Amino acid sequence: IMSIPSAVYTEPQIGSFGYSEERAAATGLDFGVANFPFRAVGKAVATGKAEGMVKILYEKTSRLLIGGHIAGDNAVELVHQLLVAKAAGLTIDQVGKLVFAHPSMSEGIMEAAKSASGAAIHI
Protein backbone atom coordinates (compact mmCIF):
# COMPACT_ATOMS: atom_id res chain seq x y z
CA ILE A 1 0.00 0.00 0.00
CA MET A 2 2.88 2.40 0.71
CA SER A 3 3.90 2.34 -2.97
CA ILE A 4 0.47 2.64 -4.56
CA PRO A 5 -0.24 6.13 -5.88
CA SER A 6 -3.46 8.00 -5.41
CA ALA A 7 -4.73 10.55 -7.89
CA VAL A 8 -7.19 13.40 -7.51
CA TYR A 9 -8.19 14.97 -10.81
CA THR A 10 -9.07 18.41 -9.51
CA GLU A 11 -7.59 21.72 -10.56
CA PRO A 12 -4.85 21.63 -9.44
CA GLN A 13 -4.28 17.88 -9.51
CA ILE A 14 -3.03 15.96 -6.48
CA GLY A 15 -0.79 12.91 -6.70
CA SER A 16 0.48 11.13 -3.62
CA PHE A 17 1.76 7.91 -2.09
CA GLY A 18 2.93 6.65 1.27
CA TYR A 19 2.84 8.36 4.63
CA SER A 20 1.25 11.72 5.32
CA GLU A 21 2.88 13.84 8.02
CA GLU A 22 0.03 12.98 10.38
CA ARG A 23 0.31 9.23 9.83
CA ALA A 24 4.10 9.22 10.10
CA ALA A 25 3.90 11.14 13.39
CA ALA A 26 1.18 8.84 14.73
CA THR A 27 3.33 5.78 14.06
CA GLY A 28 6.31 7.32 15.83
CA LEU A 29 8.57 7.54 12.80
CA ASP A 30 11.54 9.90 12.98
CA PHE A 31 10.97 11.65 9.67
CA GLY A 32 11.77 14.81 7.79
CA VAL A 33 9.72 16.83 5.34
CA ALA A 34 11.11 18.50 2.24
CA ASN A 35 8.91 21.05 0.44
CA PHE A 36 9.23 23.16 -2.66
CA PRO A 37 6.62 25.52 -4.16
CA PHE A 38 5.89 25.47 -7.88
CA ARG A 39 5.93 29.29 -7.86
CA ALA A 40 9.74 28.95 -7.85
CA VAL A 41 9.84 26.52 -10.81
CA GLY A 42 10.56 28.26 -14.12
CA LYS A 43 8.18 26.22 -16.28
CA ALA A 44 5.35 26.61 -13.78
CA VAL A 45 5.74 30.38 -13.84
CA ALA A 46 6.16 30.54 -17.63
CA THR A 47 3.00 28.51 -18.24
CA GLY A 48 0.93 30.28 -15.59
CA LYS A 49 0.59 27.05 -13.58
CA ALA A 50 2.54 28.11 -10.48
CA GLU A 51 -0.07 27.01 -7.93
CA GLY A 52 0.98 24.02 -5.84
CA MET A 53 3.99 22.31 -4.38
CA VAL A 54 6.04 19.15 -3.96
CA LYS A 55 6.32 17.55 -0.50
CA ILE A 56 8.60 14.59 0.17
CA LEU A 57 8.67 12.69 3.46
CA TYR A 58 11.78 10.73 4.34
CA GLU A 59 13.04 8.66 7.26
CA LYS A 60 15.73 10.73 9.00
CA THR A 61 18.26 7.98 9.75
CA SER A 62 18.20 6.11 6.44
CA ARG A 63 17.05 9.18 4.41
CA LEU A 64 14.81 6.81 2.39
CA LEU A 65 11.55 8.12 0.95
CA ILE A 66 8.41 7.23 2.91
CA GLY A 67 5.88 9.48 1.20
CA GLY A 68 5.38 11.92 -1.62
CA HIS A 69 2.65 14.47 -2.19
CA ILE A 70 2.37 16.79 -5.16
CA ALA A 71 -0.32 19.37 -5.81
CA GLY A 72 -0.20 21.24 -9.10
CA ASP A 73 -0.17 20.95 -12.86
CA ASN A 74 0.43 17.32 -13.92
CA ALA A 75 0.85 16.21 -10.30
CA VAL A 76 -0.63 12.80 -11.06
CA GLU A 77 2.09 12.20 -13.67
CA LEU A 78 4.90 13.70 -11.58
CA VAL A 79 4.33 11.60 -8.46
CA HIS A 80 5.47 8.50 -10.35
CA GLN A 81 8.99 9.90 -10.48
CA LEU A 82 9.07 9.77 -6.69
CA LEU A 83 7.63 6.25 -6.72
CA VAL A 84 10.40 5.09 -9.06
CA ALA A 85 13.00 6.69 -6.77
CA LYS A 86 11.45 4.90 -3.77
CA ALA A 87 11.37 1.56 -5.62
CA ALA A 88 15.03 2.02 -6.60
CA GLY A 89 15.96 2.64 -2.96
CA LEU A 90 17.21 6.17 -3.57
CA THR A 91 17.70 8.46 -0.59
CA ILE A 92 16.35 12.00 -0.49
CA ASP A 93 19.93 13.19 -1.12
CA GLN A 94 20.32 10.98 -4.20
CA VAL A 95 17.03 12.28 -5.61
CA GLY A 96 18.39 15.81 -5.15
CA LYS A 97 21.44 14.92 -7.24
CA LEU A 98 19.41 13.68 -10.22
CA VAL A 99 19.44 15.89 -13.29
CA PHE A 100 16.01 17.02 -14.48
CA ALA A 101 15.29 18.78 -17.77
CA HIS A 102 15.13 22.58 -17.59
CA PRO A 103 12.64 24.04 -17.71
CA SER A 104 10.29 21.32 -16.48
CA MET A 105 7.74 20.80 -13.74
CA SER A 106 9.92 17.87 -12.60
CA GLU A 107 12.50 20.33 -11.32
CA GLY A 108 10.20 20.83 -8.33
CA ILE A 109 11.03 17.27 -7.25
CA MET A 110 14.78 17.90 -7.44
CA GLU A 111 14.42 21.21 -5.62
CA ALA A 112 12.30 19.69 -2.85
CA ALA A 113 14.85 16.91 -2.40
CA LYS A 114 17.73 19.41 -2.29
CA SER A 115 15.87 21.44 0.33
CA ALA A 116 16.18 18.50 2.75
CA SER A 117 19.84 19.42 3.09
CA GLY A 118 19.37 23.17 2.66
CA ALA A 119 20.66 23.16 -0.91
CA ALA A 120 17.62 24.19 -3.00
CA ILE A 121 18.80 26.20 -6.00
CA HIS A 122 15.87 28.46 -6.85
CA ILE A 123 14.67 29.56 -3.43
Long-range Cβ contacts of 88-91 (<8 Å, 24+ apart)? 89/64, 90/64, 90/65, 91/58, 91/62, 91/63, 91/64, 91/65
Catalytic member of 69, 80, 102, 122? 102
- How are strands ordered across the β-sheet holding 6-8? 6-8, 13-18, 65-72, 53-59, 31-37
Respond yes or no: is residue 80 known to be catalytic. no
Catalytic machinery residues: 102
